């Protein structure tokens, strides 16, 4: 069974300064010494969690996506993280999944953080994105989505839909207990690896982010956790332990079947 090597980039961000963030992140990514296959950046990595998409959002052929394609090709990695995107007159908090050959997929954040005004500026996503890498299935989600277990839930009791839940975030330090608790809960209830990548430092609103990026296995054990400070951590995930857990404790087979139905009220 193939392994998968991930690099989590827990970093500060320059507030609403794309050029500074892209230059800083390129240096960090190109400096990763270990061989890696997937590099994960935080939510809104080019700007910070800003509510100014009218000023800062880009189209799908904009500067940041061009930069992601360039870096992914140069480093021969898959590169992922979320940015502000303008499309068809709407703004999205969009996670981009960029392959070394320039192919990309995307996921638009479903749950907008109304407490911070995100619902007033951004349009919600309508569908999930489960990416495939070397036989691994990865469910790609963003920050506040973590609080809503139905959206992340494995929707099949025949064969698990995915092997990894991945969250990119700008999650404040003042609620880091919820972040850490819910990451573990999502791993246990879905019997999968969970990867959470958060930023550090103060944003332009004076809100501090402690990081607390984590990798958790399918029984809720912590494989990696950095509580504070910048860090780039590379970890190899193995498929065999995951399959053993699912076989020995096949709780996923007893899950309730359900469908998520889109309504006019979103």
Report the catalytic residues: 43, 109, 143
Token pair for 172: 């404040």
Phi, psi of 57 (to 5 degrees): -65, 150
Burial 228-252 (b: 16+ CB within 10 A, else e): eeeebbbbebebeebeebbeeeeeb
The set of residues, in sequence order, having a beta carbon less than 8 Å from that of 116 and lying 6+ positions away, is 49, 51
The set of residues, in sequence order, having a beta carbon less than 8 Å from that of 7 and lying 6+ positions away, is 32, 34, 36, 38, 39, 40, 77, 232, 233, 234, 235
Taking each helix axis from N to C end, the angle separating 18-30 and 63-75, rounded to the nearest 10 degrees, works out to 10
Residue 147: strand, helix, or coil = helix
């Amino acid at each position: 069974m193939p392994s998968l090597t991930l690099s989590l980039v827990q970093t500060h961000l320059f507030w609403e300064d794309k050029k500074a963030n892209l230059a800083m992140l390129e240096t960090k990514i190109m400096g990763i010494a270990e061989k890696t296959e997937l590099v994960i950046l935080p939510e809104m990595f080019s700007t910070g969690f800003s509510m100014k998409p009218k000023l800062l959002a880009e189209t799908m052929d904009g500067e940041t996506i061009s930069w992601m394609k360039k870096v992914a090709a140069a480093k021969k990695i898959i590169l992922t993280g979320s940015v502000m995107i303008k499309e068809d007159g709407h703004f999205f908090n969009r996670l981009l999944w960029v392959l070394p050959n320039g192919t990309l997929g995307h996921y638009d954040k479903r749950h907008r953080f109304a407490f911070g005004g995100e619902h007033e500026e951004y349009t919600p996503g309508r569908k999930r994105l489960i990416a495939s890498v070397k036989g691994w299935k990865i469910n790609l989600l963003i920050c506040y989505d973590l609080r809503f277990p139905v959206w992340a839930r494995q929707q099949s009791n025949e064969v698990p839909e995915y092997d990894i839940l991945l969250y990119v975030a700008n999650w404040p330090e003042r609620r880091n207990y919820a972040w850490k608790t819910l990451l573990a809960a999502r791993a246990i209830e879905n019997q999968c690896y969970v990867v959470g990548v958060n930023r550090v430092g103060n944003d332009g609103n004076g809100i501090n982010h402690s990081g607390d990026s984590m990798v958790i296995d399918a029984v809720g054990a912590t494989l990696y956790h950095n509580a504070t400070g910048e860090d780039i951590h590379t970890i190899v995930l193995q498929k065999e332990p995951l399959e053993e857990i699912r076989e020995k404790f096949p709780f996923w087979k007893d899950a309730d079947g359900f469908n998520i139905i889109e309504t006019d009220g979103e």
